[in-house]
Chains A and B, each alone.
Chain A
Amino acid sequence: KAGVTQTPRYLIKTRGQQVTLSCSPISGHRSVSWYQQTPGQGLQFLFEYFSETQRNKGNFPGRFSGRQFSNSRSEMNVSTLELGDSALYLCASSLENSYGYTFGSGTRLTVV
């Protein structure tokens, strides 16, 4: 059974640019959540999508956005990148009424 797949694994961007990260959930999982992990702030919730609708949102600026497609795959976008956006971005998927979240290995974003 394939796990949660995130692409790309590593990314280097310049300040001011924008970036799109991709997440393919486990087959059958319709809920996809995104988290940011940094050494200083730890793991912080960005947003959750279920059936193409954003169900919950964390305390991040509007530069962070996401979407989910009909096949449950999800993308997140960060516009006007800042140095502080350098982090590991993790995607997690789960069944509708389950707390069995499965995380991907993440995308390591470095902003220079």
Chain B
Amino acid sequence: QKEVEQDPGPLSVPEGAIVSLNCTYSNSAFQYFMWYRQYSRKGPELLMYTYSSGNKEDGRFTAQVDKSSKYISLFIRDSQPSDSATYLCAVNTGRAAGNKLTFGGGTRVLVKP
């Protein structure tokens, strides 16, 4: 079993809809949670970074962390065709682990005009 599970999709939504993405993780030692967006032929781009349980909002993006359930989510409001990409969740146990990130497998998202 992988440490971080993520539905591969693809997830297809109409323009303007809310995109809902999620990951589950197995190790309660994970304390830092990130969401990356990756376009084809590009490296991942950091979207959101959270530490504690709860919500964090940045523009059209909202990240949620529920440590009790080991569940993390990303919501994209008013989705645009330019949001079509693969979204990756990533976790880290903290500074002692350095920059070792454990990634989910990624979810492909397609926003149709």
> Which A residues form the contact surface with B (CB < 8 A)?
4, 31, 33, 35, 42-45, 48, 50, 55-56, 58, 90, 92, 94, 97, 99-106
B42 proximity list for chain A (CB < 8 A)? 105-106
Rounded to whole Å, the gap between the CB of B89 and the closest CB of chain A is 11
CA distance A55 to B44 in the complex (A): 22
User: Does the CB pair B49–A42 fall under 8 Å?
Assistant: no
CA distance A2 to B99 in the complex (A): 21
A44 proximity list for chain B (CB < 8 A)? 103
Whether A101 touches B99, Cβ cut-off 8 Å, given contacts A43-B88, A106-B43, is yes
User: Does the CB pair A97–B43 fall under 8 Å?
Assistant: no
Which of A42, A90, A102 is close to B105, meaning CB atoms less than 8 Å apart?
A: A42
Rounded to whole Å, the gap between the CB of A51 and the closest CB of chain B is 12
A103 proximity list for chain B (CB < 8 A)? 36, 43-45
A4 proximity list for chain B (CB < 8 A)? 43
Main secondary structure of the interface of B (DSSP, over half): mixed
User: Does the CB pair B99–A94 fall under 8 Å?
Assistant: yes
A42 proximity list for chain B (CB < 8 A)? 88, 103-106
B34 proximity list for chain A (CB < 8 A)? 99
Rounded to whole Å, the gap between the CB of A102 and the closest CB of chain B is 7
Please tell me if B53 contacts chain A, counting CB pairs below 8 Å: no
Whether A99 touches B97, Cβ cut-off 8 Å, given contacts A42-B104, A45-B102, A106-B43, is no
- Known A43-B88, A45-B100, A45-B102; further 16 A-B contacts with Cβ < 8 A: A4-B43, A33-B100, A33-B101, A42-B88, A50-B98, A55-B98, A56-B100, A58-B100, A94-B99, A99-B49, A100-B46, A100-B49, A101-B99, A101-B101, A103-B44, A105-B43
Report the nearest A residue to B50, measured CB to CB.
Answer: A99
B49 proximity list for chain A (CB < 8 A)? 99-100
